Amino acid sequence: MGPMNFDLSAVQPWQWALGALGGLVIGAAKTGLNGLNIFFVPLMAISFGGRASTGIILPMLCVGDIIAVAWYRRHGNFSFLLKLMPWTLAGLGIGAVVGANLSDVLFKNLLGGIIVALLALMVWQDTRKAKVAYPEAWWFSALAGLLAGFTTMVGNAAGAVMSIYLLSMRLPKNAFIGTAAWFFLIVNLIKVPLQVFFWKTISPGTLAYDAVMIPAIAFGAFVGLALAGKIPERAYRVFVLAMTGIAACMLLLA
């Protein structure tokens, strides 16, 4: 069942259940529990196929982004977004072209290796007494933007890259969530026409499936808001790092 002939009547009960669970996870991840949705992406790829799943997930992510921006819109740091966006657009373009011929195995290993390297850099930064200079360097924003654009186009998997970038900037919790919310809303909306016209992974059938998942996304968003508000700043940083590390291991071992 390809994306362009996606038939709701052919969707199995377990695929509906997985979509609802994914909606909950996406909603919670977008409104505070960053890193959770990376666990959902591989499951959807197994269920519907790697390429087809990207078109199913993307509209669900957009719904979560809209909810997150509606709540955290005042907390976004647009100076970071302006640094990232030109490089991210370049990464999107590379991903749109290269992704058509990139195998799932190579992509997972490449992304997992990059995340592990960035995590090691983060740990090194946290263990040093002196302030390190690389987060403010132009090349760090360029690297993060290119990786985020490429990985989000190919596999909706830029969350880990953005988490490491924003944690490196030592943003407060709400600024972290708000900046990520604005970033992904802009980027995911840009990706929609690429998925529709270039990859042809979004169709009326996939959109109908996504529409059924909106209540689950909204409920997950409220859960994320409630839980994120109770997590202290330092514990939140550790939580995001831990989720990112687990995601990298999943990609490398899958």
What is the rounded CA–CA span in Å between residue 17 and residue 217?
13
What is the rounded CA–CA span in Å between residue 218 and residue 139?
37
**In sequence order, what DSSP letters do the residues of 14-49 get, joined into one string?**
HHHHHHHHHHHHHHHHHTT-TTGGGGHHHHHHHHH-
Length of the chain, please? 254
For residue 237, give every residue at least 6 positions away whose Cβ sits within 8 Å of its Cβ, in sequence order, or none: 167
Scanning the structure block, which residue is given the tokens 């790829």? 45
Scanning the structure block, which residue is given the tokens 């169709």? 203
Using DSSP, state whether 201 is helix, strand or coil. coil
Using DSSP, state whether 124 is helix, strand or coil. helix
pLDDT tens track for 28-43 = 888 877 767 666 776 6
In the chain, what are the domain boundaries?
Answer: 11-253
Question: How many Cα atoms within 13 Å fall on the side-chain side of residue 40?
Answer: 28
**In sequence order, what DSSP letters do the residues of 130-147 get, joined into one string?**
SPPSGGGSHHHHHHHHHH
* C-beta of residue 38 within 8 angstroms of C-beta of residue 159: yes
pLDDT tens across the length of the chain (254 residues): 555 667 787 888 988 998 898 899 889 888 877 767 666 776 677 677 666 778 888 999 999 999 999 988 888 788 888 888 999 999 988 888 876 666 667 766 776 677 677 677 666 666 665 455 556 677 888 888 898 888 788 767 777 778 778 877 777 888 888 888 899 999 999 989 988 887 788 889 899 999 999 999 999 999 988 887 788 877 877 777 777 777 667 667 76
